[in-house]
A and B are shown apart, each in its own frame.
Chain A
Amino acid sequence: MLSKRIIACLDVRDGRVVKGINFEGLREAGDPALLARRYNVEGIDEIVILDVTATLEARQARSQTIAAVAHEIFLPLCVGGGIRTEGDAAAAVEAGADKVSLNTAALLDPSLITTLARRYGSQAVVVAIDARWQDGRAAVYVRSGQAETARDAVDWAREATERGAGEILLTSIDRDGTKSGFDCALTAAVSDAVNIPVIASGGAGTFEHFAEVFTTGHADAALAASIFHFNEHSVEALKGFLHERNIPVRLPGHGTAPGAPDAPVHPQRD
């Protein structure tokens, strides 16, 4: 059975990992490559680098960060933040990204999704949606959560899928950094509306929150940042917890069979 993925997000500014609450009030959390190395050992399934400022000056720094992280891991690596053009995406891929995450640029020009899907395949195109509940609808925000749009998260996820997105990275602005739990209602609404994987983001605080988003939230993957960065919880312990709850996860350890650690080693031949 396909495992539920645990994804570590590195919010990077000026080459350093930072983390805020409700998209504001950033504090520093360390070196991206060192964190990636630790998460890899602990059994993380994927890493996302989000360039939270992504100014023009930050572009070169971003390529260096991508290359440094890619050097540490043989795992899927997604890069987002400030990917505005095909050229930006190409630079990220060139530096070692397997996927790029589009947000504001995709809303401004949805054809960018199709362009990149044709060039790199849908599996390389993630559409990030930042949303918060507003008068009973899941309103889509852009510009790092600062500008409201007229779009509804469910409709936009459907359109992004039709245009060639391979995954949706759905962040609840209300829950981001609050550790009060993922927005399961929002996640389920989007996940049920599309047939591509949905990554839930925003609000991870306890192991129970992950179990909730994989069951009632219908998430295919869950992303977290601060609870891992500051050593509050290890990825390994989280996966052990989920495994106990019968939620399929990839347990850390080289070539070991989940649920069957004593399975015989494949017979050696001469």
Chain B
Amino acid sequence: MIALVDYGAGNLTSVRKALGALGAAFWTPASPDEVARAAGIIVPGVGHFSATSALDAPWRTAILEAVDRSTPLLGICVGLQWLFEGSTEAPAVPGLGLMAGRCTLLSDRQSVDHESPSKDGDRQQTIGRRLKVPHVGWNSLVFPKPSRLFEGLVEGTQVYFTHSYAAPVVAATAAITVHGMPFSAAVENGLVAGVQFHPEKSGDAGLRILRNWLIQA
């Protein structure tokens, strides 16, 4: 059974629906103690990083202990950001610290669209003329290394994003997307994985990615 952690950040309907469509059995643990019997753990999330403060010490301990016992963990959106050390969105709220680095606002860095010299100058002016945040919509994935998550998917596959903050590119980065700056669209280190996009809203490609993760769990 997959533990779908509900910490009150947004609505889990879409994730539940996707897991159901893939035939996965899951439940929402009522207390951290229940996490111990999970075959896999999903930390979903939309909205503000501060919402993860609901995952207090007992939850953090239970999830870290499960990871130590080789239970697969998947963070989605804010759930991916929570795997890092923290986020400038809520500096006082610590992340899980399984990945090195902190998440930052996408517009904190200069847009490459503005600066990249292009033969297609007119198009750059009209199409990539300004960086909009939140980053909403379908964007493509580049794979810096092979990963379990993206097995069977081709580079350039597009998935659905909706977020303002993003995680840096690190050694564990399994997919990179660029919106103003390159960021970790996905991370995978052993059985710890996270996706910044929403696989549950990314059509067939998203379901394939979720299924790839479920196979491990």
Contacts and interface: CB of A to CB of B under 8 A. Distances in A.
A221 B137 contact: yes
Nearest to B14: A98
Contacts of B158: 3, 250, 258
B128 A220 contact: no
B33 interface: no
Given A120-B10, A123-B136, A216-B126, A259 B156 contact: yes
Given A1-B128, A269-B146, A96 B13 contact: yes
A257 interface: yes
A248 interface: yes
B130 A76 contact: no
Interface stretch (B57-65, B66-74, B147-155, B188-196): B147-155
Contact of A255 (B17, B48, B136, B152): B152
A94 B160 contact: no
B127 A214 contact: yes
Task: Provide the main secondary structure of the chain A interface.
Answer: loop
Given A255-B205, A266-B143, A266-B150, A123 B47 contact: yes
B178 A1 contact: yes
Contacts of A266: 143, 146, 150-155
A45 interface: yes
Interface centre among A74, A214, A268 (most CB of B within 10 A): A74
A215 B136 contact: no
B11 interface: yes
14 contacts: A2-B179, A45-B138, A71-B17, A74-B203, A74-B206, A96-B17, A167-B136, A215-B123, A215-B126, A218-B129, A220-B137, A246-B123, A265-B154, A266-B146
Given A1-B140, A197-B136, 20 more contacts: A2-B139, A70-B14, A76-B162, A96-B13, A98-B11, A121-B46, A124-B46, A124-B47, A221-B137, A246-B120, A246-B127, A254-B208, A255-B154, A256-B157, A265-B154, A266-B143, A266-B152, A266-B153, A266-B154, A267-B146
